[in-house]
Amino acid sequence: MAGSEIALEVEGLVKHYAIRGAAARGAVVRAVDGVSLRIVAGETLALVGESGSGKSTVGRMILGLTPPTAGTVRLFGQRIDDLDHRRMRALRRDLQLVFQDPYASLNPRMRVVDIVGEPLANFGLVPAAERRDHVTEILRRVGLGPEHLDRLPHEFSGGQRQRLGIARAIASRPRVVVCDEPVSALDVSVQAQVINLLLDLQAEFGLAYLFIAHDLAVVEHVSHRTAVMYLGALVEVAPTRDLFAAPRHPYTQALLASVPVPDPTVPRRPPIEGELPSAVDPPSGCRFHTRCPLAEPRCRTVAPPLRVVAPGHEAACHLA
Ligand code: SF4
């Protein structure tokens, strides 16, 4: 269960990419345009949105893989967005990543004992003589056995590889884990096993998760709170139960309308229409106005701020 200590805090995070070439005339892609988030210890915050919304870029900036254009990232109160490479590496003990594609993140020529043991060696956590036993215990924790110690990544199924990726991520006993679409490449039956593993590890170690995902059915199951991104900005943040029961932002309402429901007679809102506008030249006023069925004239000129609309529930809509 989530506590009250702030594990991860992001303030005004911005990422603009300059477009090269004479014709660009100083144009930038506004991938992320002022995102602020907090996650407390033991909590899962889901970050959702369409492809191109900027959610993965937020994750990469938090992990120090992409430098922010502006804004701050704090891990347990310590600012980490301005660290050099060496200090960022040291910090990885506390801040880890679970990838969407574990195969791409695992060295195909390294054996499991070395893949999972590497963080233990890098951070000097376990003497070399004890490392194999320690890795065996970590593997046990993620549902793999000692018979897997000397295998190579290609000898595993997709679900087992993700367990391996999780084993490596938790080896250093981090306190915050960024999970970037961790189950979207897996079969549905395997997804549930991996999600349950992540939930068990959170309960055991008090991990805070930033869970980046587009599958809302998974998000509803796994997260305490959900933040919705549209075209580089947050449009709604709320306890997951409240957000799914009573979404306040028309974009969230449209996203939820696209989630399959077992009972086809349940009345549904129309799904979202149209393409995501370009992040080079986002719409003026409310960025969602070009697709919003409720748009009013003021929506084209006045950007609605993210404001509290109910306890713990924020939305950026003039009508929320
Ligand atoms: Fe729609 Fe206007 Fe609300 Fe934006 S501010 S979501 S355009 S009603």
pLDDT at residue 13 greater than cutoff 80: yes
Would you place residue 266 in the very low, low, confident or very high pLDDT band (cuts 50, 70, 90)? low
Q: For residues 168 and 174, what is the distance between their CA atoms, to the nearest angstrom?
A: 11
CA distances from 235 to 47, 49, 71, 140, 286 (A): 11, 10, 18, 41, 10
Would you place residue 4 in the very low, low, confident or very high pLDDT band (cuts 50, 70, 90)? confident
Q: For residues 96 and 296, what is the distance between their CA atoms, to the nearest angstrom?
A: 43
DSSP 250-276: HHHHHHHHTS--S-TTS--PPPP-SPP
pLDDT at residue 1 greater than cutoff 60: no
Would you place residue 84 in the very low, low, confident or very high pLDDT band (cuts 50, 70, 90)? confident
* Minimum CA distance residue for ligand 1 atom 3: 317
As a whole number, the mean pLDDT across the chain is 91
Across the range 278-304, mean pLDDT stands at 95
288 Cβ below 6 A of ligand 1? yes
Q: What was the pLDDT predicted at 184? A: 86
CA distances from 239 to 16, 105, 219, 243 (A): 29, 32, 11, 6
259: Cα separation from own chain's centroid: 19
Residue bearing tokens 């799914």: 244
pLDDT at residue 3 greater than cutoff 70: no
Is residue 152 within 8 A of residue 109, CB to CB? The reply is yes
Q: Which two tokens stand for residue 229?
A: 């991104």
Q: For residues 132 and 12, what is the distance between their CA atoms, to the nearest angstrom?
A: 43
Q: What was the pLDDT predicted at 6? A: 96
Q: What was the pLDDT predicted at 160? A: 92
Q: What was the pLDDT predicted at 244? A: 95
Lowest mean pLDDT among 88-92, 135-139, 202-206: 88-92
294 Cβ below 6 A of ligand 1? yes
286 Cβ below 6 A of ligand 1? yes
Share of the chain above pLDDT 90, in %: 74
pTM passes above 0.85: yes
Residue bearing tokens 């054996």: 111
CA distances from 53 to 30, 214, 228, 235 (A): 10, 10, 9, 11
Interhelix angle 188-205/158-170, rounded to 10 degrees, is 20
pLDDT at residue 305 greater than cutoff 60: yes
Q: What was the pLDDT predicted at 87? A: 86
Residue bearing tokens 């999780």: 166
Q: What was the pLDDT predicted at 97? A: 93
Q: What was the pLDDT predicted at 94? A: 94
Residue bearing tokens 């805090």: 9
Pocket test for ligand 1, best of 287, 306, 307, 319 (most atoms within 8 A of CB): 319
303 Cβ below 6 A of ligand 1? no
Q: What was the pLDDT predicted at 105? A: 80
Gap from CA of 15 to ligand 1 centroid (Å): 24
- DSSP-derived letter for residue 299 is G
Across the range 145-153, mean pLDDT stands at 96
Q: What was the pLDDT predicted at 229? A: 97
pLDDT per position as a tens digit, 209-263: 999 998 898 999 999 999 999 999 999 999 999 999 999 999 999 999 877 666 6
Residue type, 166: I
Gap from CA of 288 to ligand 1 centroid (Å): 6
Q: For residues 198 and 303, what is the distance between their CA atoms, to the nearest angstrom?
A: 37
317 Cβ below 6 A of ligand 1? yes
pLDDT at residue 180 greater than cutoff 70: yes
Instruction: Read off φ and ψ for residue 235, nearest 5 degrees.
Output: -115, -20
247 Cβ below 6 A of ligand 1? no
Gap from CA of 229 to ligand 1 centroid (Å): 14
Burial class (CB in 10 A: 0-12, 13-18, 19+), 69: middle
**Which of 46, 80, 53, 78 shows the shortest CA–CA distance to 65?**
80
Q: What was the pLDDT predicted at 247? A: 96
Give the number of the atom of ligand 1 that is nearest the alpha carbon of residue 289: 7
Gap from CA of 292 to ligand 1 centroid (Å): 6
pLDDT at residue 19 greater than cutoff 60: yes
Backbone CA torsion sign across 309, 310, 312, 313: negative
Would you place residue 172 in the very low, low, confident or very high pLDDT band (cuts 50, 70, 90)? very high
Q: What was the pLDDT predicted at 128? A: 92
Residue bearing tokens 């210890």: 41
